[in-house]
Amino acid sequence: MFASCWELAVNFVPGSIRIHHNTSASYAAVKETEGDRGKKKTGLSSINNIRFCRGYYHQPAADISAQQSSNCVCKMAAIISQAMPETVDGAEMPKSKRPSDSAFKQQRLPAWQPVLTAGTVLPAFFLIGVLFIPIGALLLISSNSINEFVYDYTHCKPYGGNQSCAEMISTNPGVKCMCIIHFELEKDFHDKVYLYYGLTNYYQNHRRYVKSRDDDQLLGRLSPIPSSDCAPFAYADDEERIPIAPCGAIANSLFSDRFELRSDTLDRDVPLLQTEIAWPSDRQIKFRNPDGNLAEALRGFQRPKAWTRNLWELDTVNKDNNGFQNEDLIVWMRTAALPTFRKLHRRIDHSQEEFKDGLMKGNYTLTVEYTYSVIEFEGTKKFILSTTSILGGKNPFLGFAYIVVGSVCLLLGCVLLIIHLKCSKTNGGISSVHQRSSSRP
């Protein structure tokens, strides 16, 4: 090319770097110019002087064209970037953020893009419609086969009283109120029957409410300093000396109403079981009791402020169903996603001879120990008796959703088919258009 040797003087602070470009008759030197050596700057800061020595053409530097100068500068910059060390005086050089030249990072991987034509879209619409409508019908039939009884007892009144239990609890917290409710089952509830409680306008999905718990504490690892997520339900006193177990807003708001069910037709109580109502994974993994005696292990801890019983007294019948492994507590600690929800509360004991086939139709009496107030946030409470199917409880929404989606797909398929048949161009017309266009000069 042009001149065979260059000398490039650059301002490089601190340190002096000398670079030799080993060609047949060329060399390049990088030398620092005078400046403040105390400043810790790394990298190539400026190019001050470029001098071209006489090479193959033996031309003076003044006679070299601007294009040659530009080429020389580019070559010298490449030489310097290759020979420059990664660190200068212990300081790391900035690394390039340019992605590597790979097929993945440069987005050159092979891809498949479907071609949406009438021959592929229309069969898909018809197939979805043909499959979804029968599935939705089966889901709806399965949901309707479930027997369910729902009773709203939010404003129930005690026997012989004029004021509702909700008003009594709201004005006098801590007062017990007993409601007696008579109802009739019009159909036989065969197979397994479950008792639920339902709440409305109750936002368990609030971010701070969901976080307000101490998982280490629920695993039986007690600490005098609860998690900060439990505040303001972490300590029982203002001086923060007595911790609460279990702490947090979720545990503090544990549903506390109690139910007793009696069959007037059989003249005996309906046996209710409090076990096996929580998820097995929760019972066996997420909730554990501390070793030893539960009351002794919880010495120095206080029960939640809204509770009326201690943690080791939640189940007076089954002593093993107490502490952090109490299944009512476990069910409540699994927060609901929507403000209207129901939670499993009891199971009917079908081992009894009178109830082995389920709950038969007839008259029943429900006694409610009313202690949980919901009227402050305009909520409601419901007592629910229900059977189940292989898909769970009664829920017609899924069946309706499948039927609606299938019907819409069938309708769209028919509309698009009509448009395709009436408005699409024939192959003959397209070929004639190509022939006319190709015959033009």
Please report, in tens digits, the pLDDT of each residue of the chain (441 residues total): 334 334 433 433 333 334 343 433 333 333 344 444 444 333 434 344 434 443 434 444 444 455 555 555 555 555 555 545 555 455 566 778 888 889 898 888 888 888 888 888 999 999 999 999 999 999 999 999 999 999 999 999 998 778 899 999 888 887 889 999 999 999 999 889 999 999 999 999 999 999 999 999 999 999 999 999 999 999 998 787 899 999 999 999 999 999 999 999 999 999 999 999 999 999 989 999 999 899 999 998 999 999 989 999 999 889 899 999 999 999 999 999 999 999 999 999 999 988 999 999 999 999 999 999 999 999 999 999 999 988 888 889 999 999 999 999 999 999 999 999 988 765 444 445 444 444 444
* pLDDT at 126 (0 to 100): 95
Residue 235: count other Cβ atoms within 10 Å of its Cβ: 19
Compute, in degrees rounded to 10, the torsion defined by CA atoms 288, 293, 298, 299: -170
Same domain for 352 and 220:
yes
In a domain, 113, yes or no: no
Do 334 and 407 reside in the same domain of the chain?
Answer: no
In-domain check, residue 73: no
Q: Which pLDDT score, from 0 to 100, does residue 184 have? A: 94
**3-class SS letters over the chain:** CCCCCEEEEEECCCCCCCCCCCCCCCCCCCCCCCCCCCCCCCCCCEEEEEEECCCCCCCCHHHCCHHHHHHHHHHHHHHHHHHCCCEECCEECCCCCCCCCCCCCCCCCCCCCCCCCHHHHHHHHHHHHHHHHHHHHHHHHHHHCCCEEEEECCCCCECCCCCCHHHHHHHCCCCCEEEEEEEEECCCEECCCEEEEEEECCCCCCHHHHHCCCHHHHCCCCCCCCCHHHCCCCECCCCCCCEECCCCHHHHCCCCCEEEEEECCCCEECCEECCCCCCHHHHHHHCCCCCCCHHHHCCCCECCCCCCCCHHHCCCCCCCCCHHHCHHHHHHHCCCCCCCEEEEEEEECCCCHHHCCEECCEEEEEEEEECCCCHHHCCEEEEEEECCECCECCCCHHHHHHHHHHHHHHHHHHHHHHHHHHHCCCHHHHHHHHHHHHHCC
pLDDT value of position 115: 84
Residues 283 and 324 in one domain: yes
The answer to whether residue 41 is domain-embedded is: no
Is 373 in contact with 202 (CB distance < 8 Å)? no
Q: Please count the structural domains in the chain.
A: 2
Domain limits at 218? 150-388
180 located within any domain? yes
Looking at the structure, tell me whether residues 411 and 293 fall in a common domain.
Answer: no
In a domain, 43, yes or no: no
Q: What is the per-residue pLDDT for 30? A: 36
Residue 79 covered by a domain:
no
Residues 239 and 217 placed together within one structural domain of the fold: yes
Residues 129, 161, single domain; the answer is no
Are 231 and 186 members of one domain?
yes
Residues 128 and 215 in one domain: no
The model's pTM is 0.69
Closest CA to 83 of 22, 34, 124: 22
Question: Which pLDDT does position 93 carry in this prediction?
Answer: 64
CB distance 344 to 196 below 8 Å: yes
**Are residues 401 and 384 part of one domain?**
no
β-bridge mates for residue 196, sequence order: 344, 384
pLDDT the model gives residue 174: 77
100 inside domain: no
Q: 125 and 162: one domain?
A: no
- Residue 309 shares a structural domain with residue 401: no
413 plus 308 within the same structural domain: no
- Report the pLDDT value the prediction gives residue 80, as an integer from 0 to 100: 52
Q: Evaluate whether residue 305 is within a structural domain.
A: yes
